[in-house]
Structure formats: structure tokens, C-alpha cells
Structure 1
Amino acid sequence: MKFLIPSLIGVLLFLVPISVNDTVTIGLGVMADGLQAAIGPMVPGFMTAVLWISALGGVIVRLLPNSVYQKSIAIMAIFDVGTFWIILRFIGAIFAVMTLWSIGPEVVWSDLTGVVVLYDLVSVLMVWFLFASLFMPLLLEFGLMDFIGAMVRKVMNPLFQLPGRSSVDAMASWMGSGTVGVLLTTQQYEQGYYTKKEASIIATNFSIASIAFSLVIARFLSI
């Protein structure tokens, strides 16, 4: 039962397509869309603050090498990055402020640049990553990927040179969102289940499109 119930919930949330308002999505997508509708206007300001925290946190960790912060694995994992990434974080934070307040060169905060990223893309990614991070252990930690991987290894390996467990990544991406698939792949790579080559193949081939995205393109082309 420890395997069956959590894995079944994970399958229902990540892999079973649901039609809502003529849109194909998954259970996770329904929750993400609901949260986005509820807090959407607050997300740009919140994420701008997060960007500044990430940038300033990287500097603080660098300037205080023997501080209490370095005793926390979580803090170090988030803020202990290279100089190049700290610079990028500051650039992103500055661009976010410019977009949020519509200041500076219009090329940064126009409807075709900064607004698309901060108000459209970031809002979607935040809620998807939030729910995916919360419920992903249902797919990863209770044996589902090992079980399915053992069953489909003889298919995935000859066809794609990938381990059997990658089939769950592919299904999650196709049924739901490429964002979920990329997050799954990243966690599996960091835990040592995928090589760099395998993770790259999965992320760039299986996580590019989904049913919902394909339907949008089909409708646009009147197919």
C-alpha cells in the first residue's frame, strides 16, 4: 500500500489528462491555474523581491565566508554560486524592477520583452514549479519510476538509448507540461539516475511539447 496509494495519486496528478474548459491539462495544471488566477496580480512584485533576495544573498554568502549561513545546506545550495551567476541575478533583478515600474529604456520593459517575461512567463512557471515540487515525491520516492522503468527498459533503451524510468518523464511532459518534465529530469540527474547525455536527450526531445501545446498549434493552423 505504501507503493500503490502514493504512486496512484502521483499518476492521477501528473500523467492522466483532463479536459477543462476545452483545454487538455492534468490535475496539477488545474491546481496551478487556480492558484495563478487567485494570486496572479501579486506574482510580479513577489518574484521581483525573490530575485533581489537571490542576488543579495549570493553577495552576503561571499562576503561572510565564516558566517552562520554557511552552516545551512539549504542556504548554501541556493546562494553559493559563482560570480558570473551573481552578476546575472543582479541583472535580472534590475530588469524586473524596470519592468515592474516601467522605468528606463522601453526595450527592457515593453509588452514584447519584460512584460512577457515578468507578467506572463514567470507567473506560469512559479505556480507550476510550486505544485510540481510539492507533489513530485509521489512519482519519485515511492518506487513508481523503478517499477515502470523495469517494465519499459527494453523499449526505451533500444529506441532512444535511455533508461526505462525516463518514460515517466516523457509521459509527464506530454500529458501535462514541459516544465514538469524538465523538473523531473533535473532531479533525476542530480540524484545520479541520468548521465548528462541522457538528461540532455530527455529535456530537449521529450520536454519540448505537450498535448495542450500541440492542440494550440493545431487550432492556430486550423488543422
Structure 2
Amino acid sequence: MKQEMDAKNLIKFILGTLFGVFFVLVPFNFDGTVDTILFYYVKLFVKQFNSQLSMVLMICIIASAAISLFNLFNDKTFLGQNRLMKKLFVTSPFYVVNRIIGAVLTVMIYFQIGPSFLISADTGGSMLSLATQLAVIVPSMLLFQTFILEFGGMEFLGEFIGKLVKPLFKVSEICATSIISAWVGPGNAAIMATKELFENGYFTFREAAAIASHFTTGSIGWIVVVSSVLGVMDYFGLILAGLLVVSIIVAVICVRIPPVSLYEDVYVDGTTEFKHVVLKEGNALTRGLHNAANRASEAGVKNFAAKIDNMTFYVFWLTPIIICWGTAALVIALFTPVLGWISLPLELIMNLFGVKEAGIAASAIMSGLADNYLPVIIGGSIQAASTKVIVAMMSILSIIYLSETATLLSSTKIIKKFWQTILIFLERTYIALPFVILFVKVFM
């Protein structure tokens, strides 16, 4: 039986989505500075209150380390019973140690105590400054991205690409909306959403692995963050177009090679039959508008309130890890030849294509395995705009990074072995790089 579209929900979908696009994604010129409305004013706020925000962040990082350490030795407390507290503070000994190191480093950097190679403006000082900026920018982005992700935009677009995903990525048409959501939304949220849909019988093992490991980018808002911090917002449209083209090419290749290609095409119950009913009446536009209006009808305050999880997760869970691993990576990059050694094959490829400042760029790209923001930190000293654009695109395309997605993919068993996440990172990096360089060479 055909359902009528609610005009109020249709308007809600259109206005909500358009507001999100213009507020979060569209760059404007602010007195010579190209930025989106959201990030321009958030960065002004951070600049004005940087000292106070750094102190608050330090307190949050210390609290993260202290509470998680307490829970490690007292696991019968309320922390394990409360959903949000468990998510933020109940973790493994490995990550507790990382938080403690991150807290110690933060205190040393903030009060300028300790060896200069750790606390200087080029290493720890740079990390604390950027972490402070991101601790405000990323939660803001997660909050306002709700307009783009949860007011029907993904359902509307999904109807138009459903016919393409099957031949391109060897997945069923129903995966289309999840693929778009994974590409434009927060990576960790996309992985958890993929896991839930897999457990509910929507995806096979192979489809879940393909979506989670080859489409969960750092989100479209994160692309704005990376472009803004690297100073290449002038090229934001080009970067977005390049990421769309190259990510499709890389995904087309990677879903056809191990490890993802070896995963079984069966559902969680062991069968090969899809059991859910899918609406197919009407044309793509009608179905798209209908599904978008339905999704918009569910959007409200609760959708924004639900973002508290990921907003606090970033500050309390990821920031100490970023400080810890980021400072270590910068020290290694600046004071040892290690990062240069492991990134040598990338440097050779970039030199072959005549990329400027190939050594720094290669090290920046390879550092993305530790955390997806490290390429931006290490690549910040690059002068050539074209090389900065390459680093920006590669930092998004790598998808796998140890500080979050690699651990999440293996812990949720979407990717069965941890070493397979490393293999996926290397596959994506070496396959994507030549295409990214060619794209930049042609269009810049």
C-alpha cells in the first residue's frame, strides 16, 4: 500500500539538509580567509580563549588517565554499569598506559617542564596546540553534521546510487545508504552502525568488511578540518572531488583483492538469503523523497543529544592517544631517520612523479597509520600547495589508523585479524597515491 508523503517532513528534510550543507561544508571568504561558517567562528573562539581551553583540555586528559587507571584495578564500580562511563573510561591496560603517557606529556608541555625535544613548539607544543583546537572543532563538527546525516539527505542520495554499488563494489543495493553515510559521517560511528546492521541481517560478512574498511573516511566535516588546518581551503572543492573519484577507484580495486575478497558472502545466521522487505514502488526520485521525509520525521533533539557520546569520546578517549602517539611520531620524524626509512618507497613514487618536498610528504602520509591527523601535523611545514593537497587527500583516503579505526575494526570482528587492518592500510596507500598525484597534477 502506497504511503503519502508528509509535506511538513519533506520541508524539514530540505531545510535541515540545506542548512547543514551551507553551515558545515560550503566555504566562504572571511576577510581574505577561506573557510566554512562553522569552522571560521570556532577557530576564532579557540584563538581568543586558547590558554584557558588548553588548561581545560589538560584537566580532561588527566581525568581520563586517572579514572581509567582506577577502573583497571577496581572493575566492580559504577563505571562498568553506566553506558557512557563504560565507553569513555573502561579500556584495556594498553590504552590505559597510553592515556597515562598522554597525560604526563600534556602536563610537561603545558608547564614547559622536561627535555626540549618533547615539549618544544615543533613537537609536544605543536601537538597540544592542535589538540586544543581539535577538541573544540571536532565535537562542533559532530554536532552540526547531524543536519547533513540525519535529516534525510543520505536516504535521498542512496536511491540514486543503489544501482551503481552492486557492479562497482560487489555489494547489494541496500548498502548504498550505508556507503554514503560511512563516507560523509564519522568513521567510528560508521563502523558501529555497520556492525549493528550486519548483526541485524542487512549485510553479509563480506559486505560489512567492505563498507567498514573502504568507505569509513574521517567524515566530510573532517575533510574541512584537514583542509582548513593545512591552509588549502581554497582547493576544498577540488579536494572533495578528488577524494570522491579516487576513493571509488580504490574501493573498486580493494574489494576484489584479499583480505576483503576472501570474506564469506553469508549473513550472520549462516544463510545467503536476504530476509528484509525493501520498498521498491515508484521511481528513484519518489522513493528518495519518501524515504528522506520518513527519516526527517524521526529527526529532533534526541539526534543531537545522541552526539554527546562521540563528542565526549573524542575528548576523553582519543585526545590522550593523539597527544601520546602524535608527540612520539613528531619526535621520531624530526629527531630520528625511522619514519623516513619506512616511507622511502612512497618518497620514491612521489619523486618519480616530480612531487615537490617528497621526503616530508612521504613521512607525513605514512604517519597516518598511527593517527589520521599526524599527516596534517607533519605536513604543516610543507610549502608547496600541490603537495599539501596530496597529503590532505591521502590522510583521508588511508582510513585505517591505529589510534581508532584499526582497533575498532578488529575489536568488533568486522575485520577478523588485526594484521589485516595493517594490510588494508598499505593496500589503500599504495593504490591511492599514484591516482591522487595524477589528479592533482591534472587539475591544479
* TM-score normalised to structure 1 length: 0.78
State the alpha-carbon separation in 2 of the partners of residues 148 and 58 from structure 1: 41
Q: How does 1:1-223 map to 2 (within 5 A)?
A: 1-119=11-129, 121-154=130-163, 164-165=176-177, 166-167=179-180, 184-192=186-194, 195-202=208-215, 203=217, 210=227, 212=233, 214=235, 217-218=385-386
Tell me the secondary structure at the aligned position of residue 76 of structure 2: coil
Following superposition, the deviation at residue 20 of structure 1 comes to 1.8
Following superposition, the deviation at residue 152 of structure 1 comes to 3.3
Over residues 71-93 of structure 1, what are the superposed CA-to-partner deviations in whole Å (9 max), with x where a residue is unaligned? 21000000011110000000011
State the alpha-carbon separation in 2 of the partners of residues 100 and 6 from structure 1: 40
Tell me the secondary structure at the aligned position of residue 12 of structure 1: helix
Give the number of the structure whose alpha-carbon radius of gyration is greater.
2
RMSD across aligned C-alpha pairs, in angstroms? Answer: 3.2
* TM-score normalised to structure 2 length: 0.42
Over residues 130-185 of structure 1, what are the superposed CA-to-partner deviations in whole Å (9 max), with x where a residue is unaligned? 21122122222222112122223445665677954445676xxxxxxxxxx5x623
Following superposition, the deviation at residue 197 of structure 1 comes to 4.0
Tell me the secondary structure at the aligned position of residue 158 of structure 2: helix
The answer (yes or no) to whether the contact 2:26–2:36 under 8 Å persists in 1 is yes
Tell me the secondary structure at the aligned position of residue 151 of structure 2: coil
Structure 1 residue identity aligned to 2:121:
D
The answer (yes or no) to whether the contact 1:15–1:26 under 8 Å persists in 2 is yes
C-alpha distance 201-214 of structure 1, shift in aligned 2 (>3 A) = farther
C-alpha distance 152-25 of structure 1, shift in aligned 2 (>3 A) = farther
Structure 1 residue identity aligned to 2:152:
G
C-alpha distance 168-23 of structure 1, shift in aligned 2 (>3 A) = farther
Structure 2 residue aligned with 1:177: none
Tell me the secondary structure at the aligned position of residue 191 of structure 1: helix
C-alpha distance 169-76 of structure 1, shift in aligned 2 (>3 A) = closer
C-alpha distance 105-33 of structure 1, shift in aligned 2 (>3 A) = same
The answer (yes or no) to whether the contact 2:182–2:219 under 8 Å persists in 1 is no
The answer (yes or no) to whether the contact 1:99–1:115 under 8 Å persists in 2 is yes
Following superposition, the deviation at residue 60 of structure 1 comes to 2.2
Tell me the secondary structure at the aligned position of residue 3 of structure 1: helix
Identity of aligned residues (%): 23
Following superposition, the deviation at residue 122 of structure 1 comes to 0.8
The answer (yes or no) to whether the contact 1:186–1:199 under 8 Å persists in 2 is no
Structure 1 residue identity aligned to 2:36:
I
The answer (yes or no) to whether the contact 2:149–2:181 under 8 Å persists in 1 is no
Structure 2 residue aligned with 1:174: none
The answer (yes or no) to whether the contact 1:6–1:138 under 8 Å persists in 2 is yes
Following superposition, the deviation at residue 195 of structure 1 comes to 3.7
Q: Count residues in correspondence.
A: 210
Following superposition, the deviation at residue 111 of structure 1 comes to 1.5
Structure 2 residue aligned with 1:176: none
C-alpha distance 117-142 of structure 1, shift in aligned 2 (>3 A) = same
C-alpha distance 40-153 of structure 1, shift in aligned 2 (>3 A) = farther
Structure 2 residue identity aligned to 1:117:
M
State the alpha-carbon separation in 2 of the partners of residues 91 and 55 from structure 1: 9
